[in-house]
Chains A and B, each alone.
Chain A
Amino acid sequence: MKTAFKLDAHPRRPRPLLSEPPAGYFDKLPTQIMARLPQAEASATPGWRWLSFLTPALRTGIASVAVLGGFAASFYMSGSAPLVPRSAPTAALDAVPRTELVGYLLTSGARVENSDLAVLTAAHPGIAKGFLHVSEDEVNDALDAQPSEDATYL
């Protein structure tokens, strides 16, 4: 019959028989721990330390307001400041060499109708001055020669 094991009868050790940590482990451990402390981060941003005193609910509320405010501000900024200046179409066209423009119109398959020219000049009255080197009489003669349905745009 087996003898029952009694814990009280067994020699008590201060800890289990486990291998010791590597030599010098406890000398190096404080340095390793100090290197992991987030103190540099905390001291670099002292302006935000007050956040830690707020309740989690209040911090969540402030964060939500900040995010929504950011969206509103970006929306407002994008609405008030046009992405492209008003003079951009003509300015951009002026910058393109004429040969390239002609080449584009010839090769891209784009067709410029009389109606296109009519709408463009109606929207920007001075747009033709840079490239349409004709007198007013010549223009009027050309317009008189147009079919009536195209002339209605003018």
Chain B
Amino acid sequence: MEDHEILTKFQDPASRNLAFNQLVRKYQSKVYWHVRKMVVDHDDADDLTQDVFVKVWKHLENFRQDSQLFTWIYRIATNECLNFLSSKRRKFLLPLNDVGAELAAKIEADPAIAGDAIELKLQQAILRLPDKQRLVFNLRYYDEMPYEQMAEVTGTSVGALKASYHHAVKKVEEYVTRHTEE
């Protein structure tokens, strides 16, 4: 079902549930992996993904279609992730690096990555980036999202996003080089 069709059906109370169910089925995987890349842990990603769609439900009626539906959903998901990580830091009084280290430890424990030393170092490097820079890195490197669309998701200018991504790549390359044996 196309986005405009979902939105039209959502406006009608009789078909609202059906339309929203279609919306969830269409975007759940993308939202989940977007969130999972940020919080690493599946249970956290599961909670946040559900929270994202509950928020989408609450605000979809007021969605003005100034941007694409998916970009709008991504923006909600991004804010949920950043709020989650920042509240985690506040709750446990953790400095920035400790949350990165905690996420890196979860990556190390993940059996999917076992045996791939370079990939492990790459993930550790990415998880040590500040949250917002990591978000920019993920959107550009993994999702290959155009900068203009990233600007809509993050509310940041294209120029600032390019600079942020450039710095993120440098940091990642330096970290992997430094921590990889000959």
Complex Cα spacing A16 to B45, Å: 14
Distance in angstroms from A27 CB to nearest chain B CB is 9
Distance in angstroms from B71 CB to nearest chain A CB is 19
A7 & B172 in contact (Cβ 8 Å cutoff): yes
Distance in angstroms from B124 CB to nearest chain A CB is 11
Q: Please, what's the 1-or-0 string for B77-120, where 1 marks a CB less than 8 Å from any CB in chain A?
A: 00000000000000000000000000000010011110010110
Complex Cα spacing A14 to B28, Å: 16
A19 & B54 in contact (Cβ 8 Å cutoff): no
Contact A2-B112, Cβ < 8 Å, known A16-B37, A30-B25: no
Sample (11) of A-B pairs whose CB atoms are under 8 Å apart:
A4-B173, A7-B141, A17-B116, A18-B37, A21-B45, A26-B28, A29-B28, A33-B28, A33-B54, A37-B20, A37-B57
A26 & B119 in contact (Cβ 8 Å cutoff): no
| Interface residues of chain A: helix, strand, loop or mixed (majority) | loop
Q: Please, what's the 1-or-0 string for A24-61, where 1 marks a CB less than 8 Å from any CB in chain B?
A: 01100110111011110000000000000000000000
Sample of 20 more A-B contacts, CB < 8 Å, known A12-B141, A19-B112, A34-B20: A2-B180, A5-B118, A5-B121, A5-B177, A7-B172, A10-B122, A13-B142, A15-B37, A15-B142, A16-B113, A16-B142, A17-B112, A18-B37, A18-B112, A26-B29, A26-B32, A29-B28, A30-B25, A33-B53, A34-B24
Q: Which of B113-135 contact A (CB under 8 A)?
A: 113, 116, 118-119, 121-123, 126
Chain B residues whose C-beta falls within 8 Å of the C-beta of A20 in the assembled complex: 112
Q: Which of B16-61 contact A (CB under 8 A)?
A: 16-17, 20-21, 24-25, 28-29, 32-33, 36-37, 40, 42, 45-46, 49-50, 53-54, 57-58
Interface residues on chain A, size class: 20 to 34
Complex Cα spacing A20 to B111, Å: 10
Contact A38-B58, Cβ < 8 Å, known A18-B40, A26-B28: yes
Name the residue of chain A whose CB is nearest to the CB of B175. A5
Contact A30-B24, Cβ < 8 Å, known A17-B116, A18-B112, A18-B113: yes
Chain B residues whose C-beta falls within 8 Å of the C-beta of A21 in the assembled complex: 32, 42, 45-46
Taking beta carbons and an 8 Å cutoff, which residues of A are in contact with B? 2-7, 10, 12-22, 25-26, 29-30, 32-34, 36-39
Chain A residues whose C-beta falls within 8 Å of the C-beta of B110 in the assembled complex: 17-19
Name the residue of chain A whose CB is nearest to the CB of B168. A7
Distance in angstroms from A49 CB to nearest chain B CB is 11
